[in-house]
Amino acid sequence: GRHGGQLGELGFVYQGLEFNQDAFHIFLGLCAVDTPEHVEIIFRHLKQHNIQTARMGAYKPRTSPYDFQGHGKACLPWLFELAGKYDIKIIAMEVLRPEHIDEIHEALQETGNPTGVMLQIGTRNAQNFELLKAVGSQSTYPILYKRGMGLTLEESLNACEYIASEGNRNIVFCLRGVKSMLGLPHRNLIDFGHVPVVKRLTRLPVCVDPTHSVGLKDRAPDGIYDIFHAAAQGVISGANMLLVEFHPRPEQALCDGPQALTMNELDHFLADMQLVRKCY
């Protein structure tokens, strides 16, 4: 890659799944793990669709300290148990501190299921250099790095260098929208034009997160969700991965309910993504 650092690997294989600039994976699921029932509903739907990847947040970085902070390590044993039951191979999950890597690692070992994880660095930690160094040096898990919401692309690519330079080059670069003062209908300005740029400057697979870009599941006049459009836009731009929030009962969600798609919308969503991938 032209970025000039160590972001120049030709992708990687993890849990038998390929991640590179041609591959495509959908990681969908709960913003925050709440109940075993909700996790199981999601996993069952994924299994029906032969999808072996999911997103499930245990540690949540919340804007307010009074909001639900995630079940943390308490939910990991039953989460990984259920993942094994439904053949989920990789769960994308955010870590906020280096100790979370160990907690996840221990829970995986204790569960004994062949489930793996992709460690997410959230936008709020996009320049937390000590955490970046920790996931770079202490982790054999792939890293899903989310672009900083107020960072230049260059600053975020340098943050990935912090991970790579410590030895872990299995990185996926995720665009999730950036802050803007322009009073947009969406929570974050959609930066999907950067998908091909990142692919050109590095060899990293690129992920798009339509959920946190749009931020609200408002219906457009034609009845199609903005989140559907943003996801399709990501695919058209060449994304190698989508990270999307779903909840079986968004009104009961402990985090980000208003932006979650429901299981009734899953078939439509997957069919749409398949269609755009065939067209472009």
Q: Interface residues with Mn ion (CB under 5 A)?
A: 31, 256
For the bound state, the minimum distance from the C-beta of residue 246 to Mn ion, rounded and expressed in Å, comes to 11
Q: How many CB atoms lie within 10 A of CB 139?
A: 22
**Nearer to ligand PEP by C-beta: 207 or 235?**
207
Among all residues, whose Cβ is closest to Mn ion?
Answer: 31
**Nearer to ligand PEP by C-beta: 29 or 267?**
29
Stretch binding ligand PEP (CB under 6 A), from 79-87, 102-110, 118-126, 263-271 = 118-126
Contact track, ligand PEP, 152-191, x by CB under 6 A: ------------------------x---------------
Contact track, ligand PEP, 206-245, x by CB under 6 A: ---x--x---------------------------------
**Nearer to Mn ion by C-beta: 7 or 243?**
243
Stretch binding ligand PEP (CB under 6 A), from 116-124, 158-166, 223-231, 272-280 = 116-124
Q: What is the 3-state secondary structure (H, E, C) of the chain?
A: CCCCCCCCCCCEEECCEEECCCCCEEEEEECCCCCHHHHHHHHHHHHHCCCCEEEECCCCCCCCCCCCCCCHHHHHHHHHHHHHHCCCCEEEEECCCHHHHHHHHHHHHHHCCCCEEEEEECHHHCCCHHHHHHHHHCCCCCEEEECCCCCCHHHHHHHHHHHHHCCCCCEEEEECCECCCCCCCCCCECCCCHHHHHHHHCCCCEEECHHHHHCCCCECCCCCEHHHHHHHHHHHCCCCEEEEEECCCHHHCCCCHHHCECHHHHHHHHHHHHHHHHHC
- Of 30, 31, 118, 198, the residue at the interface with ligand PEP (CB under 6 A) is 31
- Of 25, 146, 186, 203, the residue at the interface with ligand PEP (CB under 6 A) is 146
Contacted entry of ligand PEP, Mn ion, none for residue 146, CB cut-off 5 to 8 Å set by kind: ligand PEP
Beta-bridge partner residues of 18: 13
**Nearer to Mn ion by C-beta: 226 or 256?**
256
- Of 29, 57, 70, 215, the residue at the interface with ligand PEP (CB under 6 A) is 57
**Nearer to ligand PEP by C-beta: 232 or 255?**
255
Contacted entry of ligand PEP, Mn ion, none for residue 191, CB cut-off 5 to 8 Å set by kind: none
Please tell me the distance from the alpha carbon of residue 180 to that of residue 184, in angstroms, as a whole number: 8
159-169 residues labelled b (16+ CB within 10 A) or e (exposed): bbbbbbbbebb
**Nearer to ligand PEP by C-beta: 31 or 201?**
31
Tokens of 126: 């996009």
Contact residues for ligand PEP, defined by CB under 6 A: 31, 57, 61, 122-124, 146, 176, 209, 212
